[in-house]
Structures are given as C-alpha cells and as structure tokens.
Structure 1
C-alpha cells in the first residue's frame, strides 16, 4: 500500500530563506529616514536661537533707550535751569532798562532855573524891569481865579452829573516887574510867548496897575539948599505888572540849542551822552 506524503517547498531546506525585516523598520533605521527629524530639530533650534537673540537685542536696545531717556531728562533739566536763569536775566535787564529810562527822564525833564531866568532876562525889553520871579505852590495855584470859559455848545440831551475839575498845572510862575507904559508890558508879553521855556497858551497878564507919578529926590548943588516944590520935576508913573506863565513840558533833549546858548553845558553834555548810549532817543 502506498502512503500520502505532502512535501511543501517552504519546508525544504534548500528553499528556506532567512526572515527579513519589515520595510517600515528598515526605513526607519536608515539615515535618509532620519533627515526630516534632524532638519526639524535644527529649524526649531534656529527659531529658538533667533527668538533668544531678538529678545537679547531688544533688551540691549531697551537699556540704551532707558539710558538715552535719562540723558535727555538731564538735558531737559539743565535747559529748564538755563531758561530760569535767562528769565531772571531778562527780568533784571528789563528792570535795569526801566531804571535807566527813569533816570534819563529826570535829566530830560529838568530845565535849569538859570537857563530859564537867562532866557526871560534876554527877552526883557529895555523899558521893562523885572523885580522878581515867584514859583507858585499848589495851594496858590488852586486859589487863582479861573478864566471865564467859553460858552458851551448846546447838547441834544442834558448831561447827568458834573465832571471832576482838572488838577492844577505844575511849574506855574509869576513874573513881577515894572514898565514905563502898558505898551511895554504888552510887548514883553508877546516876546515872552515866543520862548521855548514857557507855554505860550498859558502866558498872560494877571495884573497891571499905573502908579502915581513920583518926584525925584532933592539934589543939593554945592552949599545951596534944595529947590522948593515948584522946582521939583514929576516923573511919570510906572506900570506895575504881574505876568503868569507855566514852564514848558518839552523834553530837554529838544532844547539842546537853547540850553547850550544859555550856558547849561552840564545838562547838554549829560543828555548827549545818554543819547549816544541809546537811552534818550534823538
């Protein structure tokens, strides 16, 4: 009898092969399969390095900005201190200019009495004799009779209340003297009104009186007795007058020629010096 014996090829020794690894494991073990991992790691490390470098750069820039801000704050503080100093200097300069202008205005408003008297004396006619010049006080000026005002023009509506009177002028003087006639007094008034040391509109005659004729003193010739009353000569009476005027308020810098002609050289020199320095405007 025959028996059945099945002989598979895989069971034969000559056809038996070594077991091979799966393709997946073989692929993972090769360098080509690890390249993406390395590339990904390198890329990640690069990004982390860039982030760290950027952070360090920003930190350094921030420190520089903080330092620069501190420097700018110090500069601003120094500038503010300098501005305060300059403001103080400007204030002192302005005060000095005001003081200088006030000091210069004193010289510019002063007219020496000698120059004023010299001008009045030079304008006095031969037939006029000045006995004295008097400066009026504020009380005397207030007591002077007011000139009659001109008739006011009618207004369409009545005004309520009254206006306060103007303050009395300063620098008012009275010239007291005698003249041979009223015409000589009038001539002296007209000549005096042309003076630049007084105001022409306030120069006026406030009093003029013709005195009684006077007899000359008796003259004794040799041992003879003085002549009797019939031989005495009567002299014409003189006119006693009072002229009132006000000193001008024109600055002395505009009267340099007149002041120099009246020998007020000291004031002229001071004003010219102040004019050269720019304190007094020409």
Structure 2
C-alpha cells in the first residue's frame, strides 16, 4: 500500500518566505516596450521649443514689416508733396495759358484801320463819294454778357451819282473780307441837290443855276469776326506788314495755329 508523506511544517508562519525589501521609493516602472513613452516625452519637450522658435520668427517678421510700413509712409508723404507741387504747377500753367490765349484772341481780332481804309479805296466806284466814315461800337445782347462781335461795325455816308452806283458800291463792300456780307446793307438812299462848289457858282446877278440831283446814301455793315491770322494774304495786299509779321511769328512759336 502507498503511504502519504505530507509535510505540514511548510504551512507554518515561521517557515513562510518574507519578501525582500528594496531601498528608495516604492515605484516600479512598467515593463514591456517603452517607445511610446519616449515619443510622448520628446513631443512634450519639442512642442514648446517649436512654439518659441515660431514666436521669435514672427517677432522678427513683424519688426521687418513695421520697418517697411514706415518706409512706405515716408515715400507716400514724399509723393503727396510732389503731387501737390505738380498740381500747383498745373494750375499756374493753366492760368498762364488762359491769359496768353486771351491776349492772343484780342491780338487776333485786331483790324488795322489802314488796311480797311485801303480796302474801301479799292472798292469804291468812280461815281461814289464818301463824306463820313465812323465806327459803330459792338452791341451787347444782354447786360453783363460780352458782345457777339467785339470788333463792332461801321457806317459810311456819302453821295453817289445814281442809285445804281450806290448798289454797285454795296455789292463791292459785300465782297470784302473785312466785313460780313449778310450784315452789309443800305440804310438810306435819297435824292438831294448836289452841293455847289465855289467854282460852279454863277457870277451873273439874277442868274440861278439849279444843281443836279445826286443820291445821298448811308451804308452800314458789321466787321467780320474771322481771326486776323486767317486774313494774312488780304492784309499783305493792303500793306499791313507789321501785323502780318507778328502773326507769323506767333504761328511759328505755336501760340496761334497755322
């Protein structure tokens, strides 16, 4: 038969093995793969470092941008000053051009009386005489407004042998470059006794010589407002050399167009 040999001494407390005590804090590191823990530590350390580097780069870029903004502000102020000076120059130039154009306009409206009188002498028929010649001031349409024709007009009075001679004189004046054809007309034309000169007076007592009748006329016209620069050839024909030379000089400088 078999016998059981059981040692009950091992179950006593005196025979129990006591655990070994280790020095230090009683912390135990987990066993197994520690790579995830190392990665987490590395990320925790590197993230603040990256944030610090990024902040430093942003600060440097901000300073650089502030410098560029300040430089652009200075350039903008300089450009504003230059633009203001250019605007002043443009304003002054426009004012000078306006004054020059006004002077040129007045100069270009000059009608030399020497040329006009010569034109009348060339156009008057042989049977027509001029007694009086006067200039008519320009007519202002509305108060405060400039006249339509600053040159004004003229009025001619005299004697003619017949009505036909007066009409011939009118037609001749209507062809003048210095007068407006549509505004040249006969105001009055009447038969009157011709004035007797001392040479024709009769010396015999009681003898009366009846003078022949002639036509006393009045012709009125408006001066042409064509610029003098367009009448150069006509002015040259009438001997107005000085005005023609001045106009050509201004045409060469570009003040008056050719």
Q: 1:69 to 1:195 in 2, by over 3 A?
A: same
C-alpha deviation, 1:183, in angstroms: 2.0
| Partner SS state of residue 195, structure 1 | coil
Higher relative contact order structure (alpha carbons within 8 Å, sequence separation ≥ 6): 1
Determine if the alignment matches structure 1 residue 250 to structure 2 residue 226: yes
* Aligned equivalents of 2:73, 2:149: Cα separation in 1: 61
C-alpha deviation, 1:175, in angstroms: 0.9
Alignment match, 2:257: 281
* Aligned equivalents of 2:85, 2:251: Cα separation in 1: 30
Deviations 1:178-224 (A, max 9, x none): 222322222111111110111112212222333247476279xxxxx
* Aligned equivalents of 2:81, 2:231: Cα separation in 1: 48
Alignment match, 2:57: 57
* Aligned equivalents of 1:137, 1:273: Cα separation in 2: 30
C-alpha deviation, 1:52, in angstroms: 0.9
Q: 1:233 to 1:216 in 2, by over 3 A?
A: farther
* Aligned equivalents of 1:168, 1:34: Cα separation in 2: 108
Give runs of aligned pairs for residues 58-73 of structure 1, distance below 5 A: 58-73=58-73
Out of 199, 210, 217, the residue aligned to residue 217 of structure 1 is 199
C-alpha deviation, 1:281, in angstroms: 2.8
Alignment match, 1:152: none
Q: 1:52 to 1:26 in 2, by over 3 A?
A: closer
Deviations 1:146-202 (A, max 9, x none): xxxxxxxxxxxxxxxxxx9xx897612111222223222221111111101111122
Determine if the alignment matches structure 1 residue 262 to structure 2 residue 219: no
| Partner SS state of residue 76, structure 2 | helix
| Partner SS state of residue 263, structure 1 | coil
Give yes or no for contact 2:186–2:218 (8 Å, CA) kept in 1.
yes
**Which region of structure 1 is more displaced relative to structure 2, 180-189 or 192-201?**
180-189
Out of 191, 208, 211, the residue aligned to residue 172 of structure 2 is 191
User: TM-score normalized by structure 1?
Assistant: 0.69
Alignment match, 1:179: 160
Instruction: Show structure 2 runs of 5+ residues with no match.
Output: 1-6, 11-16
Instruction: Show structure 1 runs of 5+ residues with no match.
Output: 1-5, 10-16, 143-163, 220-225
Give runs of aligned pairs for residues 137-176 of structure 1, distance below 5 A: 137=137, 171-176=152-157
**Which region of structure 1 is more displaced relative to structure 2, 191-200 or 207-216?**
207-216
